[in-house]
């Protein structure tokens, strides 16, 4: 036994809380793993900024006069827009990195922490990535010329509008803050270690103290913590600790599986096919013009992931939202078209929007498919063969017939799983309409369309799967949704 091997667990609760404190961003932050995630490179106390009326596009503001502002001040009111200019050309990033003693295992990027939504552009006006309370780090592009000048467009609203609580009406005098704006070097090994230990903590907590698997995983994670506390957070120690905790999760041994397959070997387990997803309500707690920007923010995130993760699959519905992005963000739209050809960005639904099915007439439903499928064929060269309604109430009995006539074979939804009275008895089944038309239908067994890919969600999906013995595969849609956002880097670590 190594000198740093953990003793047998004597108190399960204390061991679990030890992991929690080792990951905490509130307690012991100078000494735990959180302290190793980022090293500050350069802090921006002031930035050139421009407050604009309504929501002008990049080309309309690029040539305007920007004036310096203290970043610690309040920005508002609700629905206002601010643009910021970040000039990196005067900073010698390599020299700054050298002064911090960081190597190639670190990624230099922009940290932007705000309680609203924002979008970073390059100097040519190409949307690169969004910022929100859940997404605060933008890795600088490797090409130095592309990152000499960045623009950040900040919207004075949250992911769910601007109410005091989740779905309250907007507070029109609300203000927002940028709590951090700096360049930082992210320790990629520490970042992965943090999220793998977090997965173990999540799994052990869900499995409980009576589970052999959960207790063993807790033991292994504490072994890694002991190693780090004994030897310090050196690159070698962090790498060894990462190898230790990764042993909890067996590798994917099936060469035919993409990175989107979370669980394999269907003879023994439920196979979960995980797809990136970003449900955006076309009209809910914000104006239509904000929906357009939410689309650009959300999809630029996913395009960035596709460059790094070649097997990553992201599904996107609602032709209306794509049509909004096409003229306002043409370079982003071209990237989307390219990713569609590569099979990573997957247009689904076949409809103009994810529509209500209770009030519209049959003629209105037919037009949803007519205009949706026409747009997909015109812009992407293909029709969709899957009808997609994860967040719509009600299912008209004429839909299988209309969908079949539109070239649709499959249907995904899940709203019925939220029924308060009686539970629907299947996850995968054939939905037959009045005329005998059929759709192969699936309800993801985790009962939502915004999974985070935590172990407890996978365990719930397997337990909740209602077609055991008849089927051995199910879908999981992961990513921030309703107000947009989509999958985050943390979720991609869990996916790997």
Token representation of residue 165: 């609580």
Q: Which of 115, 289, 356, 391 is catalytic?
A: 391
Beta strands 428-432; 438-442: pairing state: antiparallel
Within 10 A of 151 (CB to CB), how many other CB atoms are there? 22
Token representation of residue 286: 């914000």
Rounded Cα–Cα distance for residues 378 and 242 (Å): 47
The helix-helix angle for 362-380 and 330-341 (nearest 10°) equals: 90
How far, CA to CA in Å, does 29 sit from each of 25, 228, 230?
6, 15, 17
Token representation of residue 253: 């041994």
Beta strands 438-442; 410-413: pairing state: parallel
C-alpha R_g of the chain = 24
The yes-or-no answer on residue 472 being catalytic is: no
Rounded Cα–Cα distance for residues 262 and 490 (Å): 15
Q: For 332-359, b where at least 16 C-beta lie within 10 A, e where not — what string?
A: bbebbbebbeeebbbbbbbbbbbbebee
The span from the first CA to the last CA of the chain, in angstroms, equals: 30
Token representation of residue 32: 């735990």
CB under 8 A, 24+ apart: contacts of 325-329:
325/292, 325/295, 325/296, 325/299, 326/379, 328/57, 328/292, 328/296, 329/127, 329/296
What DSSP element (H or E) covers 460?
helix 455-464
Rounded Cα–Cα distance for residues 153 and 351 (Å): 30
Rounded Cα–Cα distance for residues 440 and 400 (Å): 10
Cis peptide before 269 (omega within 30 of 0): no
Rounded Cα–Cα distance for residues 473 and 257 (Å): 13
Starting at the earlier edge strand, list the strands of the sheet with 38-43. 38-43, 178-187, 106-114, 137-139
Q: Which residues contact 292 (CB under 8 A, 6 or more apart)?
A: 55, 321, 324, 325, 328
Rounded Cα–Cα distance for residues 125 and 183 (Å): 21
Rounded Cα–Cα distance for residues 319 and 422 (Å): 33
Beta strands 149-155; 38-43: pairing state: unpaired
Residues with catalytic roles: 391
């Amino acid at each position: 036994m190594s000198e740093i091997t953990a003793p047998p667990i004597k108190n399960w609760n204390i061991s679990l809380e030890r992991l929690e404190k080792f990951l905490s961003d509130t307690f012991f932050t100078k000494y735990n793993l959180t302290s190793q995630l980022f090293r500050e490179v350069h802090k921006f106390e002031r930035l050139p900024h421009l407050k604009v009326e309504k929501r002008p596009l990049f080309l309309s503001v690029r040539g305007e006069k920007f004036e310096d502002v203290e970043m610690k001040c309040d920005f508002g009111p609700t629905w206002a827009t601010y643009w910021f200019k970040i000039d990196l050309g005067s900073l010698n990033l390599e020299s700054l990195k050298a002064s911090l003693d960081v190597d190639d295992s670190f990624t230099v990027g922009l940290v932007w922490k705000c309680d609203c939504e924002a979008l970073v552009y390059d100097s040519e006006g190409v949307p690169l990535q969004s910022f929100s309370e859940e997404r605060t780090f933008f890795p600088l592009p490797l090409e130095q010329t592309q990152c000499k000048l960045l623009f950040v467009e900040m919207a004075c609203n949250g992911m769910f509008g601007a109410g005091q609580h989740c779905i309250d009406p907007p507070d029109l005098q609300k203000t927002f803050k940028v709590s951090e704006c700096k360049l930082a070097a992210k320790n990629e090994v520490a970042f992965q270690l943090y999220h793998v230990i977090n997965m173990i903590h999540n799994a052990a907590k869900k499995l409980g103290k009576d589970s052999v698997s959960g207790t063993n995983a807790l033991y292994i994670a504490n072994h890694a913590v002991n190693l780090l506390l004994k030897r310090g957070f050196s690159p070698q120690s962090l790498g060894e600790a990462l190898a230790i905790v990764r042993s909890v999760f067996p590798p994917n041994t099936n060469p035919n599986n993409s990175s989107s397959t979370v669980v394999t070997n269907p003879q023994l387990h439920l196979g979960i096919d995980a797809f990136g997803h970003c449900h955006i309500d076309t009209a809910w707690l914000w104006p239509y013009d904000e929906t357009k920007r939410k689309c650009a923010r959300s999809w630029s995130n996913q395009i960035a992931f596709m460059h790094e993760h070649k097997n990553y699959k992201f599904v996107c519905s609602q032709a209306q939202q794509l049509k909004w992005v096409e003229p306002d963000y043409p370079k982003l739209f071209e990237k989307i078209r390219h990713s569609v050809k590569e099979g990573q960005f997957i247009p689904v639904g076949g409809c103009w929007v994810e529509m209500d099915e209770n009030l519209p007439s049959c003629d209105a439903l037919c037009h949803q498919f007519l205009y949706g499928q026409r747009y997909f064929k015109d812009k992407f060269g293909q029709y969709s063969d899957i009808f997609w309604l994860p967040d719509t109430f009600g299912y008209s009995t004429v839909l299988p017939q209309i969908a079949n006539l539109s070239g649709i074979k499959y249907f995904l939804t899940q709203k019925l799983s939220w029924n308060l009275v009686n539970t629907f008895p299947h996850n995968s089944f054939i939905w037959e309409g009045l005329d005998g038309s059929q759709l192969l239908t699936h309800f993801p067994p985790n009962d939502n369309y915004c999974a985070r890919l935590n172990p407890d969600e996978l365990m719930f999906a397997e337990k909740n799967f209602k077609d055991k013995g008849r089927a051995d595969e199910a879908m999981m849609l992961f990513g921030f949704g309703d107000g947009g956002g989509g999958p985050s880097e943390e979720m991609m670590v869990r996916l790997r």
